Structure 1
Amino acid sequence: MEYLVDTAAEFGVDKHIRFSSRLTEASWNSELNRWTLVVDSPVGEDVIRCRHLFLGSGYYSYRGGFEPTIDGEDTFDGPMLHAQNWPDDLDHRGKRVAVIGSGATAITLVPNLARDAANVTMVQRSPTYIHIETGDDPEADELRRTVGPEETFRRIRLRNLRNQQEVYAQAKGDPDAFKATLFDAIDAQIGEDVRKQHFTPTYEPWNQRICVVPDSDLFHAVRDGRADVVTGSIDRITPTGLTMADGPASRPTSSSKRLDSMWCFGGEAEFDVDGWPVEIGREWTYKGAAISGVPNLVYAFGFINASWTLRIEALTDYWCRVLIPHGRHRRREDGRRPHRRRAARAAVHLRCRLRLPASCGGPASATGRCGAVDQSAELRRHARSVRFGRRRRPHIQLTYKEKKMRVTVVGGAGAMGRKAVETLAGFDDVDQVRVLDRDMAPLAALDLGDDRRKIEEIVVDALTDDLAALFAGSSVVVSALGPFTIFGERVLSAAIEAGVDYVDINDDWEPTLAALEWHDRARAAGVTALIGMGASPGVSNVLAVRAADELDTVHALYTGWVVAGTESEPGGPRPAAALLHLVHECTGTVQVLEDGRPALVAPLQPLTLRYPGIGEIGVRTIGHPETVTLPRRFPDLQTCYNVMAGPAWWFDSVAPIMAAVDDGTLSAREAALKVENGVQRPADAPKTLRTPSLWALAEGEKDGQPARAAVGTTRWSPGRMAGATAIPAAMAARMILRGQIGRPGVNTPEEIVPFELLMEALSPLYDQPDPSIPLYEVAVDSTVEIGA
């Protein structure tokens, strides 16, 4: 387990895993060319959309193992459990234990339990073939000294592949000689008499898989008297143990383990294609991986007569060679159409020769031997690829469906909207950008080049026109139409009515609360609505989750941004809409989280925070939606503020202007113009500690000690505040188009946007001041970690 955890962390795989989650439904939509997955997760039901689905769920049921009914089991006085549901608090020390079963799980459990138990009895109906394997490998040790670890790995892997083929060939070609080799090794450990009684199967080798005992640990336990074996049928379970129908009773036990497993396909999820249920047992399979009539799905099934994971490696290598050229051509969908003759041949082998129990949807019975011939040939091909580095070209034809990706941008001629339009039009997988606004004149200033052909302009009045009808046929709607106190719910409700996914840059906390009330209606309509996906809120929310992940517990979260960039856009209206919004958020009251409860406070209140790696910074409170959404993601949070960082002289200059708005002396427009024209840096103003342009700070505990963690962006986008706000929204719309994010309902960025995915998407466009520097920094107290 330590190796698995370390390897996943080394390659960054752990950041992309959703733990404690179970797939319950998978639906393929041929019109949208994508899978929609319903997943049970620790936070409730989640929805994931994807183009390709790889099932690595194995073939066992995760609900529980197979438990046959045994007479008297309800009378047993001790604990009785299945190995698949092993409790963390089970204490078997000094007790008598019966293990029912003789497969790989049983022969692994018995010697380990025998270390601390008074006695362990393995109860089996019939014996299993067992091969003793030593942990020492002198050949590998010598190769490491002479040719190095990489070449040693290649040679030993090739040797093991050959050995597995030779062992299987001997088992099927000369079973008596093969059995003699296994039996001689066991006789040397426990004697011929015990072996004949308990370790001599009645079937031929490799009619079932052969178990491996490492370093004879099972036989050491039997030889030393710490474990014994009873072979026969169980008659009944008694209060103190169990009795056998055709042999002696086992020793009294205090716990019992049953080890058989239930077979199933895809973790028992329900699969459908365009609403038609998939009956796995009635379909053909190609290379034991793809299923006829089920697009873009691969399931992992290992070798039966060799290492299970060896075939998984070959399968993933093969499928990557199918997908990589597919991705290079930016094609969106592949309905797999293998060569008819090859598909039929592979299907016949696997349909007729692979035994699958009726419980997993396969045929109830099958004739002929298990699929040994097919898999042996596959194993030989894989061995050749290891030896010579050859990879056969996949015998699959990819057929493509062209689907128009149309994005509608509401308010697309405004400062924020134009940047969203420009970004979306530059994406190769967006075919059309429909711009809705009341005045299209500003749109003419955009330098779109050849992407201008993608633009469709529609003059609308968002207060009176039928927006739902205008959204029809769109893949996603992006709303940059403010103020959201007026237009937020109207545009969102129209997208839900039209059944179109939705993204906005809502940065007001009151309309954010109103938008969240539409969650159930959006979910019922199957619409993914992502609100507040700008800079703050938006990127800042995702940074907050990343900062919180650095700590064990989190008590306080602060999201912040610097005051630079609040000036009007050159050539744009004065004052800028962003400055009008700033006045709104710096007057009246704003909602924050204090002592674990929402509270209304006056904005521009001074706070002093300690930013890891920088020191104390002076900030002022402001009314952005992070304070009302992050507590939903972190229910134990006690404190949450959104703040502005900047020089004290700027805040001292702005505070009287905002106070004048509160007492009615100035209008919001007059105040915005004063901020733009009348706030100038004093000549003697001291320098201020520079924070990242956008950041999040988490306070809590790590390893039992108070700790702080901060994540901040060190690069930013061109286009001033318009770029910082609109580019993340455009990127999020593209993620929805690609099926990378998605969950029906009204969502906030911290709920569905993964940090690494967002940083990867933003990195090419966040190129100021220098694209060569890292995009973000993670700082934990005095430790700073640079991110790509």
Structure 2
Amino acid sequence: MNEFQIHDDRRREHPAPDHDVIIIGAGLSGIDAAYRLQESDPTIRYLILERRANIGGTWDLFRYPGIRSDSDIFTLSFPFEPWRRPEALAQGPDIRDYVTTTAAKHHITEHIRFGQHVQTADWDSTTDTWSIVADTDEGEVTYRTRFVYFATGYYDYDEPYTPHFAGIDDFTGTVVHPQHWPADLDHSGRRIVVIGSGATAVSLIPSLSERAAHVVMLQRSPSYIASMTQHHRANTVVRKVLPAKAAHQVIRTRYAAVTAAMVHGLHRFPKIGRKLLEKGVAKELPEGYPVDEHFSPSYNPWDQRMCMVPDGDLFAAITDGRVEMVTDRIDRIDPTGVVLTSGRHLDADVIVTATGLQLLAFGGIRIRVDDAEIKPHDRFVFKNHLLEDVPNLAWSVGYTNASWTLRADMTARAVAKLLRHMRSHGYTHAYPHLGPEPMAAQPLWALKAGYVERSPEALPKSGTRGKWRVRHNYYRDAVDHYLDDVEESMVFG
């Protein structure tokens, strides 16, 4: 029996899959993908598998006080659904409601199955289908689809990063990580030490300080922190003059341009950028405040993601005395608080370990192609979302120096274009292939952030040339997307 006959027999044994596309994840990326797929082809048969019981992804998982976007909401929101509230940095519950409402409005919710914890994704080349296995309350369920779209984010939903602190088990108060914030935690009148200086810490601390007796922001080293105006007068004018969707596009474009210009300028002139950022912080704080000690990082601007605070709320809390900045190292934790290497003791009733995330690509789902396991860090990424030699698979991953959705939406539109091309030519599989010429590898994210440096093999790798190189430049990517040749470096069949 020849190979064609074997494949033909296998195809007769397995009927056509029930779904054209399965999207894994019902957060911002998953809902965006669903919208773009059904916009491109209203007849497409797609399904969203969501592990949790609700829509929202990150914005449903994180419930700590003060959670908000760490980039402007106008570019973080969907380009096709206007963000109608006025603030630039939006509160987490408002973002969650926005995503949920958008999914319902565009009839996406009816395509979601909740409580589906996907474990494996297996590609069968004899039938050109993926088998997706998920654990549910009713047991294991298998789905078959032509194409799989990972909208799973980039971090571990179960295990955040918490370094070992000597003596932590001796502490008699409450220890909590923001990723698993207890709904019943009452911090009123309590002394709180927040360990960390990233986006989570600067979002959490001003909110905690409204009811806590005192809050200490304990950082090992400073981060760049800048104030962002919440209500821009130009936005109000644009919304009065233009219809909602047109106004949203204008405002979104302006924020994207301003962010891109800021990032480029700070990278191009880091010394000037550092001085301007430190000068901006000094204006927000009392005269003589030690800005150099607490707000002057050792790295250049945007070597790590910058923390934005709405209308300087963190600086206001410091000025009012509700929040104290401490830059030092932890020696140990004792029953009543934190002992620093300087010898100082920070009394605490609650210790918050805002120490970061654990990187996890593809939601930790085991991917196999014809029974051979795929290790993501062994593969190059093509056009920012396709995986080298892996058929009919896309991964949505956003920017590190701009809003996540800018790239997530570009990815969704690119996948919709690829599927149209496959459908018009009768193709049942497609994948990018590097070819015989070797190519050097570089990290997918060139950030010096702890969560990236701790897990160098968690993510796929970027190439160094052409569409194999992963850039973090929205406007250059947008040009490439507009001029994209869908057949470049692709294998179809």
The TM-score, its normalising length taken from structure 2, stands at 0.72
Which position in structure 2 is the counterpart of 1:171? 266
Identity %: 30
Letter in 2 for 1:135: Q
Letter in 1 for 2:157: Y
1:392 paired with 2:479, answer no
Instruction: Say whether the 8 Å CA contact 2:123–2:369 is kept in structure 1.
Output: yes
Distance in 2, matches of 1:254 and 1:349, equals 41
SS in 2 for 1:165: helix
Distance in 2, matches of 1:80 and 1:251, equals 13
Which position in structure 1 is the counterpart of 2:365? 269
Which position in structure 2 is the counterpart of 1:336? 431
Which position in structure 2 is the counterpart of 1:298? 394
Instruction: Say whether the 8 Å CA contact 2:377–2:457 is kept in structure 1.
Output: yes
1:117 paired with 2:117, answer no
Structure 1 residue 273 displacement after superposition:
1.0
Structure 1 residue 162 displacement after superposition:
1.8
Distance in 2, matches of 1:364 and 1:288, equals 10
Structure 1 residue 22 displacement after superposition:
2.1
**Closer/same/farther in 2, CA of residues 379 and 71 from structure 1, 3 Å limit:** same
Distance in 1, matches of 2:285 and 2:447, equals 36
Instruction: Say whether the 8 Å CA contact 1:357–1:363 is kept in structure 2.
Output: no
**Closer/same/farther in 2, CA of residues 106 and 145 from structure 1, 3 Å limit:** same
Matches within 5 A, 1:372-771: 375-382=471-478, 390=482, 392-396=484-488, 399-401=491-493
Letter in 1 for 2:486: P
Structure 1 residue 329 displacement after superposition:
4.2
Higher relative CO (Cα under 8 Å, sequence separation at least 6) belongs to 2
Q: Deviation per CA, 1:516-537: give whole Å up to 9, x if none.
A: xxxxxxxxxxxxxxxxxxxxxx
Which position in structure 1 is the counterpart of 2:380? 284
Distance in 1, matches of 2:446 and 2:234, equals 37
Q: Deviation per CA, 1:453-482: give whole Å up to 9, x if none.
A: xxxxxxxxxxxxxxxxxxxxxxxxxxxxxx
SS in 2 for 1:106: helix
Distance in 1, matches of 2:330 and 2:303, equals 24
Distance in 1, matches of 2:292 and 2:256, equals 31
Instruction: Say whether the 8 Å CA contact 2:230–2:311 is kept in structure 1.
Output: yes
1:146 paired with 2:241, answer yes
1:229 paired with 2:325, answer yes
Distance in 2, matches of 1:272 and 1:60, equals 21
Structure 1 residue 360 displacement after superposition:
6.6
Letter in 2 for 1:297: L
Distance in 1, matches of 2:479 and 2:190, equals 47
1:7 paired with 2:102, answer yes
Instruction: Say whether the 8 Å CA contact 1:121–1:251 is kept in structure 2.
Output: no
Which position in structure 1 is the counterpart of 2:415? 319
**Closer/same/farther in 2, CA of residues 392 and 294 from structure 1, 3 Å limit:** closer
Structure 1 residue 247 displacement after superposition:
5.7
Structure 1 residue 399 displacement after superposition:
4.5
Distance in 2, matches of 1:57 and 1:89, equals 28
Letter in 1 for 2:293: Q
Distance in 2, matches of 1:218 and 1:367, equals 39
Select 1:260's aligned residue among 332, 356, 369.
Answer: 356
Instruction: Say whether the 8 Å CA contact 1:97–1:120 is kept in structure 2.
Output: yes
Q: Deviation per CA, 1:684-729: give whole Å up to 9, x if none.
A: xxxxxxxxxxxxxxxxxxxxxxxxxxxxxxxxxxxxxxxxxxxxxx
1:37 paired with 2:129, answer no
Select 1:212's aligned residue among 300, 305, 308.
Answer: 308
Instruction: Say whether the 8 Å CA contact 1:279–1:361 is kept in structure 2.
Output: no
Which position in structure 1 is the counterpart of 2:195? 100
**Gaps spanning 5+ residues in structure 2: where?**
1-95
Structure 1 residue 249 displacement after superposition:
2.2
Structure 1 residue 60 displacement after superposition:
0.7
Structure 1 residue 147 displacement after superposition:
3.0
1:195 paired with 2:291, answer yes
Instruction: Say whether the 8 Å CA contact 1:354–1:366 is kept in structure 2.
Output: no
Distance in 1, matches of 2:254 and 2:330, equals 43
Letter in 2 for 1:27: D
**Closer/same/farther in 2, CA of residues 42 and 391 from structure 1, 3 Å limit:** farther
Q: Deviation per CA, 1:552-590: give whole Å up to 9, x if none.
A: xxxxxxxxxxxxxxxxxxxxxxxxxxxxxxxxxxxxxxx
| Aligned pairs, number | 391
SS in 1 for 2:314: helix
Structure 1 residue 81 displacement after superposition:
1.8
The CA RMSD over aligned residues, in Å, is: 3.0
Letter in 2 for 1:187: A
Distance in 2, matches of 1:104 and 1:352, equals 18
Instruction: Say whether the 8 Å CA contact 1:334–1:398 is kept in structure 2.
Output: no
**Closer/same/farther in 2, CA of residues 285 and 119 from structure 1, 3 Å limit:** same
**Closer/same/farther in 2, CA of residues 241 and 183 from structure 1, 3 Å limit:** same
Structure 1 residue 132 displacement after superposition:
0.8
1:137 paired with 2:232, answer yes
Distance in 2, matches of 1:131 and 1:42, equals 45
Which position in structure 2 is the counterpart of 1:685? none
1:245 paired with 2:341, answer yes
Q: Deviation per CA, 1:171-201: give whole Å up to 9, x if none.
A: 1111122122222221122135232221111
The TM-score, its normalising length taken from structure 1, stands at 0.46
Instruction: Say whether the 8 Å CA contact 1:66–1:261 is kept in structure 2.
Output: yes
Q: Which has the larger radius of gyration?
A: 1
Distance in 1, matches of 2:335 and 2:297, equals 31
Structure 1 residue 89 displacement after superposition:
1.6
**Gaps spanning 5+ residues in structure 1: where?**
402-788
Select 2:168's aligned residue among 73, 82, 88.
Answer: 73
Instruction: Say whether the 8 Å CA contact 1:60–1:261 is kept in structure 2.
Output: yes
**Closer/same/farther in 2, CA of residues 375 and 351 from structure 1, 3 Å limit:** closer
Structure 1 residue 338 displacement after superposition:
5.1
Instruction: Say whether the 8 Å CA contact 2:379–2:461 is kept in structure 1.
Output: no
**Closer/same/farther in 2, CA of residues 395 and 344 from structure 1, 3 Å limit:** farther
